[in-house]
Structure 1
Amino acid sequence: MNTQQQRSPHLSLIPSVTETASAPAEHTNRREAGLEEDADLVLLLEALASPIQFRLLRLLAQEGGNLCVSELVERIPRSQPVVSHHLRLLLFARLIGVKQQGTHNYYYILPDKLKEIREALVSVEHLLQQRHEDQL
């Protein structure tokens, strides 16, 4: 198996040594910045691609945020450890925040990340529309 086939999908976003060695430094820096930005967006999209995580986001949105794990467990057919695990993944993706009140952690949505996803998708749609118009 060659090196490209052994890479995970996430690592394929990182340019290989041969790609970076053959490109001018300025072009490589711009390309790497674009890849890092895309990797951040992919992390957000992966967090939304999980049915449980998406459901947790919906519950937080419906309830206006500020739900603790036990309240989320009551609303989703999963155990507390499973819900906590998925909340940690959403925290890692920075789609939600958490604040501690007494002995409970309360979770809420960070709307800036949702806006970031929406803007990225709108920009792709805009590029497609431009391309379509250019072909006419």
Structure 2
Amino acid sequence: MSTHHQRDHLSLLTQPDAETTASASDKDKDWRATGLEEDAGLVLLLEALANPVRFRLLRLLTREEGTLCVRELVERIPRTQPVVSHHLRILLFAGFLGVKRLGNHAYYYILPDKLKEVREGLASVEHLLQQRREDQL
């Protein structure tokens, strides 16, 4: 997923349609735009996770409880170094990973805040569904 591709999704999700713009007050437009921006951010995080290679890389980094360099990750996953590096960059851009450079090596590690953000976003949807079920009873 390129940066251009990510910006396209974000711009599509945050631009209100003509009908919404014409009928909403400025306060309502601000609230709706904020909600769409929050949702767009979560969607970008989910897109970053929605790839088996990237998800596997996160799982490997979690199991190691520390940092791994690209070479170590390539040894553990059946992909070439350029492919692994590409997926690591996407996870890094999305904020799931941090990187430390030591000499010629880049060591990657998980940043838990984005995982927490995804978990909380999905939990809010689950909570709304639960409320809806309770209201129907």
Please confirm whether the aligned pair reaches a TM-score higher than 0.5, indicating the same fold: yes
Shift of 1:15: 1.6
Aligned to 1:27: 28
The answer as to whether partners of 2:10 and 2:41 remain within 8 angstroms in 1 is: no
Q: Does 1:56 align with 2:57?
A: yes
Q: Higher mean Cα deviation, 10-19 or 78-87?
A: 10-19
Aligned to 1:95: 96
The answer as to whether partners of 2:57 and 2:73 remain within 8 angstroms in 1 is: yes
Deviations along 1:58-108, one digit per CA (max 9) or x if unpaired, are 000011131000000001111101000000000111011111112111000
* CA distance in structure 2 between the partners assigned to 1:110 and 1:66 by the alignment: 11
Amino acid at match of 1:31: R
Q: Does 1:44 align with 2:45?
A: yes
The answer as to whether partners of 2:10 and 2:37 remain within 8 angstroms in 1 is: no
Q: Structure 1 regions of 5+ residues with no counterpart?
A: 1-7
Shift of 1:23: 1.7
Shift of 1:11: 4.7
Aligned to 1:65: 66
Structure 1 consecutive aligned stretches of length 4 or more whose deviation exceeds 3 Å: 8-12
Task: Specify whether residues 18 and 134 from structure 1 end up closer, same or farther in structure 2 by C-alpha distance, changes over 3 A only.
Answer: closer
Task: Specify whether residues 106 and 9 from structure 1 end up closer, same or farther in structure 2 by C-alpha distance, changes over 3 A only.
Answer: closer
Percent identity between matched residues is 68
Aligned length in residues: 129
Counterpart secondary structure, 2:78: coil
TM-score (norm 2): 0.88
Aligned to 1:3: none
Shift of 1:18: 4.4
Shift of 1:21: 3.6
Cα RMSD of the aligned pairs, angstroms, is 1.5
